[in-house]
Amino acid sequence: MSTVFEPLPRVEQDRKVSGAQSREVEEQTPGGGNGFSEDLVVLKSPGSVAAEQFRFLRAQIIRPKSGAPPRTVLISSSLQGEGKTFAACNLAVTVAQGMDEHVLLVDTDLRNPMVHNIFGIGRSPRGLATYLARNEPLSALLHKSFMDKLTILPAGEEPDNPAELLSSQKMHSFISEVRDRYPDRLVILDSSPVILAPETMSIANEVDAVLLMVLRGATPRHVVRDTMERIKQEKLKGIIFNMDRNITRARYYGYGYSYRIREAAK
């Protein structure tokens, strides 16, 4: 049975922090925190309702009511722009702010990677795609973040064949490798939308837990149902309703279209 988590409120007032406030947060952040995005609301506005919800979510994930805590958590959704990256990045920071857990945040959205932007690390030519395509050692591809306990594996260069890479045996072993090699870390994976990038399903089948974002009032009900049916029941640990009505409405057609163009261009 999956849990319906507390809804994530739309963050608007919170994001409008003054320059002075923002500098203060960055000064207090180990490593300076230079260049991280306003989207990291748990750092920019730690007293906000949204930050509180992320702390609540952290507690539910690392101390579940039943069963062992998951070691690998995929954040996904049906369509584009439902808040997957927003949730994955804020959750990663929140877990790393806790007492015990270290976090590895992995950007598996090889088509539209954003994690590097959120953390201001620049689009690196090296990352998950490099690991999958070129057999580079994983340790050489990890980025330290401005938080000691948070490490990032960006997506890396845009491959021609994201679907093949993410569905490959190498991706399968990647997930077991990070799980076994870093036993003290929670691995959080950001992803492409399930309906529009079906290879996300092969990752969903490998991880311990899938959290599904649903953009309330925008994602059509039948689309959510379709996504839920694709994910194995035992993997789907929770649904997070994102209340941000400001996000461009579920970009079903637009996204599919741009995907088709890329596929056709191959």
* Phi, psi (degrees; rounded to nearest 5) at 129: -60, -35
Report DSSP state, residue 125.
S
Q: Which stretch binds ligand ATP (CB under 6 A): 144-152, 178-186, 202-210, 240-248?
A: 240-248
**What does the alpha-carbon distance between residue 207 and residue 205 come to, in Å, rounded to a whole number?**
6
How many residues in the shown chain lie near ligand ATP by CB under 6 A?
A: 19
Q: Are strands 236-242 and 150-153 parallel, antiparallel or unpaired?
A: unpaired
44 binding ligand ATP? (CB under 6 A): no
Q: Which stretch binds ligand ATP (CB under 6 A): 5-13, 27-35, 51-59, 227-235?
A: 5-13
Q: Which does 199 bind (CB under 5 to 8 A by kind): ligand ATP, Mg ion, none?
A: none
Half-sphere exposure (Cβ direction) of 77: Cα atoms closer than 13 Å:
25
84 binding Mg ion? (CB under 5 A): yes
Between 95 and 114, CB nearer to Mg ion:
114
Residue 92 structure tokens: 């990663």
The site map against Mg ion for 107-126 (x = CB under 5 A) is: -------x------------
Buried b / exposed e across 61-75, counting CB within 10 Å, b at 16+?
Answer: beeeeeeeebbbbbb
Q: Which stretch binds ligand ATP (CB under 6 A): 62-70, 107-115, 175-183, 232-240?
A: 107-115
CA nearest 203: which of 57, 91, 65, 84? 84
Q: Which residues bind ligand ATP (CB under 6 A)?
A: 8, 10-11, 39, 77, 80-86, 109, 112, 114, 193, 242, 244, 247
Q: Which residues bind Mg ion (CB under 5 A)?
A: 84-85, 114
